[in-house]
A and B are shown apart, each in its own frame.
Chain A
Amino acid sequence: MKKKKWSNLYLFLVFIFLYVPIFYLIFYSFNAGGTMNDFTGFTLSNYQTVFDDARLIGIVLNTFMLAFLSSLIATTIGTFGAMGIYFTKRRRTRNALLSLNNILMVSPDVIIGASFLIFFTFLGISLNFFSVLLSHIAFSIPIVVLMVLPKLNEMNASLLDAARDLGASTFGVIWKVILPFITPGVIAGYFMAFTYSLDDFAVTFFVTGNGFSTLSVEIYSRARQGISLEINALSALIFLFSICLVIGYYFISKDNLTKKQKRRLRQQSEAREIL
């Protein structure tokens, strides 16, 4: 009994620690005073400023566009990459490929960002939306591979034999057996890549040029110019958006469950009717 109390207290403290700064930030987004020092009165004007700031809204849209595109492309490439690793027959080669993938995962963003910058300048590629997109795709691919590969390994290899046995071509095997089986991994990989892309500051910071900026880079540069509660308001909105995403995800997965349960219930009642 006592133990449980302690563990609850611990959890409570951890969550307080994690969430208090965010709530502090959100709290001051409603401050009329213009600083984070004292709360002088409630206002929504900071939010008004955000929605009036066309440049900021543009950057938000850019950021989402970038995340959407880069994760889509990275998921496609990463899924086939994972299959490539899975189907590599020689163990040594397979392990080497996997290690190369993992090194990209663990190496610091700063180094990746810097190397992309050097790479792009060397090739004479101008820094704009596409340079950012390319680098986001590049650092997302290893994430997708890492999410998809366990699913592939989980798959019973005789399923592939069975599909070929029943006449499926290589394309058919991939399309009708492998992809349906690894779909959860692919979706998870897509979402991971999406959030990584939304999040990313270090790599983006290196490869953005004049014309293009993402939210994290923009917030950083604005925060450096001095505190503006507009940033607080924006952060609050993004936080709200993340909560919506999580709740949405919860309902999607719950919905899947109930659909299956519903079908089972229906079958049971049908079976009863037959009897």
Chain B
Amino acid sequence: MANQTIIAFENVSKQYDEDLVLKDINFEIEQGKFYTLLGPSGCGKTTILRLIAGFTEATQGNIYFEKKRINDIPANKRKVNTVFQDYALFPHLNVFENVAFGLRIKKMSKQAIAIKVKEVLRLVQLDCFEDREISEMSGGQRQRVAIARALANEPDVLLLDEPLSALDLKLRTNMQYELRELQQRLGITFIFVTHDQEEALAMSDEIFVMNAGQVIQSGTPVDIYDEPINRFVADFIGESNIVEGNMLADNQVEFVGQSFECVDGGMRRNEPVEVVLRPEDLTITSPERGKLVVEVDTQLFRGVHYEIICYDQAGNEWMVHSTKKAKVGSKVGLFFEPEDIHVMRFNETEEEFDARLESYEEE
């Protein structure tokens, strides 16, 4: 039962006047998981949430909720609730009345409402705040009121539009834990929007990376981090070193004029490719023991690690995360395992990527 599809998009497009802001979106959302829409500003994340919630209509395509097409069902009849980007709390109502808003519409009894409101406020750790005016709450508290208000209606799916963006780092990290914990405890499907990649990696079961109205790649945080489909995803998720290369054969890639063993395959012979190496996968050793020889250019202390920028003879930049200091100006070797190399083809779609992965992993 756990893997039941609850929401599905089928060839959904959305157009504002001349602007095509969503291009042929297809995806399925499974019951009870934590999904994240991740992408740069203006890529259409909010638009997807608005389509699911029913605030706008798709120009083309079908949206399904529990296998039923819901394109024409108005927002107030959908079993979905939203935590808005700007919270959208009712300024003329206090905290209690804000949370009770949906329950009053459902004509629940006074007692039941009082119990439910208390319960959800406790869930977001806002007990004792019932009588406060919204104007008297801090940003973080408002946000939790917004979450409580949505949760009180016991939605099947909770949509959260960058709910943490207004908070300071510490509160944000706290809320990330709380939200994740809440989601697992309640078993509700969460669709969470953010443009913060760390947030996405930390919280999600599944991430949709978006750009310019398209879903570029979807998968678990580990999949997306370890096997980005193209330069955009690799750049957007985490730090990465990307250099141009050539696929000599399966499990053999050439870059910076040297040949390296890798674990990728299924490509044409001598196909030009891009190679990703994550900074934390590179270790600094002596020039003789390294697979690549580079010169240390600059070094920054980042707290957890040093961020060391090096250049190879071809002029490529290499970022290394290391807990040990390097000497600026010295020649050092970089060592990495074959599994650390990730090869990306140009213009490969997600389906082609998945198909190729399956084909050579089976062998």
Contacts and interface: CB of A to CB of B under 8 A. Distances in A.
| B is bound to A | yes
Interface of A: 156, 158-159, 161-169, 172, 176-177, 180-181, 263-264, 267, 274
B106 A167 contact: yes
Which 10 A-B residue pairs are closest in the complex by CB-CB distance?
Answer: A166-B102, A162-B88, A158-B88, A164-B75, A180-B92, A167-B105, A167-B76, A164-B76, A165-B82, A161-B55
B92 A167 contact: no
B102 A158 contact: no
A252 B81 CA distance: 39
B75 A159 contact: no
Interface of B: 50, 53-55, 74-77, 80-82, 84-86, 88-93, 101-102, 105-106, 128, 131-132, 136, 149-150, 153
A156 B153 contact: no
A274 B127 CA distance: 13
A164 B74 contact: yes
30 contacts: A156-B86, A158-B84, A158-B85, A158-B86, A161-B50, A161-B82, A161-B88, A162-B82, A163-B101, A164-B54, A164-B55, A165-B53, A165-B76, A165-B80, A165-B81, A165-B150, A166-B101, A166-B149, A167-B76, A167-B77, A167-B105, A167-B106, A167-B153, A168-B105, A172-B105, A176-B101, A177-B90, A180-B90, A180-B93, A263-B131
Q: Is the interface of A mostly helix, strand, loop or mixed?
A: helix
Q: Which of A156, A162, A264 has the most CB of B within 10 A?
A: A162
A168 B88 contact: no
Contact of A267 (B74, B85, B132, B153): B132
Given A172-B105, A274-B128, A159 B90 contact: yes
A176 B93 CA distance: 10
B81 A161 contact: no
Contacts of B149: 166
B252 to A, nearest CB: 54
Contact of B75 (A156, A158, A161, A274): A161
Given A165-B53, A166-B105, A172-B105, A159 B88 contact: yes
B82 A169 contact: no
B118 to A, nearest CB: 16
A28 to B, nearest CB: 50
Given A161-B55, A181-B92, A168 B84 contact: no
A166 B75 CA distance: 8
A43 B75 CA distance: 71
Contacts of B80: 165
Contacts of B128: 274
Contacts of A166: 76, 81, 101-102, 105, 149, 153
A260 to B, nearest CB: 8
